[in-house]
Amino acid sequence: MVDLQSQYARIQPQIDKAILDVVSSAAFINGPEVKTFQSDLEDYLGVKHVIPCANGTDALQIAMMGLGLEPGDEVITADFTFAATVEVIALLNLTPVLVDVDPNTFNIDLESIRKAITPKTKAIVPVHLFGQCAQMEEILQIAGENDLYVIEDTAQAIGADYTFSDGSKKKAGTIGTLGTTSFFPSKNLGCYGDGGAIFTNDDDLAHTIRGMVNHGMYKRYYHDVVGVNSRLDSIQAAVLRLKLPHLDEYCRARREAAKYYNAGFRDNPNILTPVTEKCGEICDTCDCHVFHQYTLKITNGRRDAVHEHLNDLGIPNAIYYPVPLHRQKAYLDDRYKEEDFSVTNALSDTVLSLPMHTELEKEQQDLIIRTVIEAVEQS
Ligand SMILES: *Cc1c(COP(=O)(O)O)cnc(C)c1O
């Protein structure tokens, strides 16, 4: 699904040197690379505070701890996402409230959010799924009317732009109360191990969270709050610092690959290609979608057949996500009614993600497109 070797090969000398420099400095934890990457990322995103941490799941957990959410508080999030989002809600003894998504963008559905709000609701966690922002302007409005926090799960959308109705733009993850991301190797800005970060423009919240990631210490060996140990190590920061200046070019390469796929599948009545909320089918100019995944909907009931056919031929492909969260054993709950999840239930039977990365070649895509179309049309 990704080609991390070829991407590494293009920046190998710089990366190798940066890693060796960290090793010889022996500043493995909280070395200068971490501070530099943090401030480079603050500049790139246009956000006041980036707090690096150990991974994207920790980032979500610490964001919720930082907001002081308490057991019993309800947190609304999308039913169609990677489990990390709901996992940390459950782990903190908060009450997850899963809601349906939009059938076209796969992102959290506004009407379903509105219906799910109760006096106990404290936060909404929109996930910018597959690389496209959720409808943040409307979500901020709903949050404002109901006094809710907004935590953007930006693990799949770092670098994406969100355009407000007045034309102003913000980077994904810098719009809500807090944003979180992951630097897992296959993410759009990936390191060579685990990594994550939390973003905010709120000085007090940033201060609270900076202590929380480090055992609740604001002064060495004085523990004011219960914290965790969640750090981005210096080697990962060195890698990320070198990759960050390439992020826009990586986003462009993904967008070009998505456009090429879209053109290849155009006019096939049984294949629906990804759409962007604001720019329509194919986006030529802006980073409104950074295509962490390129995900088709196969509408003639042959999704599983296509999946198997590609597997047989050794063509990478994946089903994200085969089971909506409300049907996962760990998150079953009597509160959920199947009729409230008609979209996620349908998506789990129709979606198929194809290889998507910065090194895709047109010949590879031609083969993938041809094979998918053949398999869809076989009967
Ligand atoms: C990858 C991912 C995470 C978790 O990130 P890790 O760094 O693997 O912990 C959280 N949310 C979403 C939507 C993700 O895709």
Comparing CA positions, the residue from 307, 277, 274 lying closest to residue 291 is 274
Which residue has the least CA distance to atom 5 on ligand 1? 56
Q: Is the pLDDT assigned to residue 51 strictly greater than 90? A: yes
Distance CA 214, CA 125 (A): 24
Distance CA 223, CA 206 (A): 17
- In a shared domain, residues 344 and 220: no
Hey, which of 184, 198, 236 would you mutate to test ligand 1's pocket, going by the most ligand atoms within 8 Å of its Cβ?
A: 184
- Write the pLDDT tens digit of every residue in 306-321: 999 999 999 999 999 9
- In a shared domain, residues 31 and 14: yes
DSSP for residue 276:
B
Neighbours of 77 (CB within 10 A): 25
Q: Which of 245, 265, 291 is the last residue of a domain?
A: 245
| Rounded distance from Cα 321 to ligand 1 centre (Å) | 13
- In a shared domain, residues 223 and 262: no
The answer, yes or no, to whether any atom of ligand 1 lies below 6 A from the CB of 77, is: no
- Write the pLDDT tens digit of every residue in 59-118: 999 999 999 999 999 999 999 999 999 999 999 999 999 999 999 999 999 999 999 999
The answer, yes or no, to whether any atom of ligand 1 lies below 6 A from the CB of 181, is: no
Query: How does the average pLDDT of the chain come out, rounded?
Result: 96
CATH code, domain carrying 240: 3.40.640.10
Q: Can you give the pLDDT at residue 277? A: 87
- In a shared domain, residues 219 and 262: no
The closest-lying atom of ligand 1 relative to the alpha carbon of residue 196 is 7
Q: Is the pLDDT assigned to residue 282 strictly greater than 80? A: no
- In a shared domain, residues 125 and 161: yes
Q: Residue 12 contacts by C-beta under 8 Å, 6 or more apart in sequence?
A: none
- Write the pLDDT tens digit of every residue in 110-159: 999 999 999 999 999 999 999 999 999 999 999 999 999 999 999 999 99
The answer, yes or no, to whether any atom of ligand 1 lies below 6 A from the CB of 55, is: yes
Q: Is the pLDDT assigned to residue 284 strictly greater than 80? A: no
Q: Can you give the pLDDT at residue 286? A: 80
Distance CA 347, CA 349 (A): 5
- In a shared domain, residues 206 and 292: no
Q: Which of 225, 245, 265 is the last residue of a domain?
A: 245
- In a shared domain, residues 125 and 153: yes
Q: What is the mean pLDDT of residues 187-202?
A: 98
Q: Can you give the pLDDT at residue 25? A: 96
Q: How confident is the model at residue 285 (pLDDT cuts 50, 70, 90)?
A: confident
Q: Which of 196, 217, 245 is the last residue of a domain?
A: 245
- Write the pLDDT tens digit of every residue in 207-224: 999 999 999 999 999 999
- In a shared domain, residues 143 and 46: yes
The answer, yes or no, to whether any atom of ligand 1 lies below 6 A from the CB of 112, is: no
CATH code, domain carrying 262: 3.90.1150.10
- In a shared domain, residues 220 and 259: no
How would DSSP label each residue in 144-163? Answer: HHHT-EEEEE-TT-TT-EEE
Q: Residue 250 contacts by C-beta under 8 Å, 6 or more apart in sequence?
A: 7, 159, 188, 189, 358
- Write the pLDDT tens digit of every residue in 225-267: 999 999 999 999 999 999 999 999 999 999 999 999 999 999 8
| Rounded distance from Cα 226 to ligand 1 centre (Å) | 23
Which residue has the least CA distance to atom 6 on ligand 1? 56
Q: Write phi, then psi, for 339 (nearest 5 degrees).
A: -65, -15
**What number of helices (H) and strands (E) belong to the chain?**
13, 14
- In a shared domain, residues 35 and 161: yes
| Rounded distance from Cα 300 to ligand 1 centre (Å) | 31
The boundaries of the domain holding residue 280 are 247-377
Q: How confident is the model at residue 45 (pLDDT cuts 50, 70, 90)?
A: very high
Give the number of domains in the chain: 2
Comparing CA positions, the residue from 23, 56, 1, 8 lying closest to residue 242 is 8
Q: Can you give the pLDDT at residue 109? A: 98
Q: Can you give the pLDDT at residue 379? A: 64
Distances 92 to 64, 69, 368 between C-alpha atoms, Å: 8, 9, 42
| Rounded distance from Cα 186 to ligand 1 centre (Å) | 10
- In a shared domain, residues 341 and 235: no
- In a shared domain, residues 16 and 63: yes
- Write the pLDDT tens digit of every residue in 168-178: 999 999 999 99
Length of the chain: 379
The answer, yes or no, to whether any atom of ligand 1 lies below 6 A from the CB of 154, is: no
